[in-house]
Amino acid sequence: MKEAKDILRTVGIIFLGIVVFIAVAPLALKLIGITFGIIGVLIWLAIAAIKLAVVLAIGYLILVGIRALLR
């Protein structure tokens, strides 16, 4: 069980890093004056990644709640 927690923690950290990169990269590029059409795509990807993270977090909380009720 400990290995599964470590794997989930690692995957979570990697996913969080990707979300932060996708969210911050367009803003940083815009600050230094580089604007491309790809910035809109990156912003859309950031929003989609945040929505996915919220859905996964809610699903996880529901599963943990059900698990706690069954104990």
Write down the domain spans for the chain: 2-70
pLDDT in tens, 53-66: 889 999 999 988 88
Return d(Cα 60, Cα 32) in angstroms, integer.
Answer: 39
pLDDT band of 70, cuts 50, 70, 90: confident
pLDDT in tens, 19-41: 778 777 777 777 766 666 666 77
- Angle, CA of 30, 35 and 40, to the nearest 5°: 90
| pLDDT at residue 49 tops 80 | yes
| pLDDT at residue 2 tops 80 | no
pTM value is 0.47
Amino acid at 20: V
Q: What is the pLDDT of residue 45?
A: 84
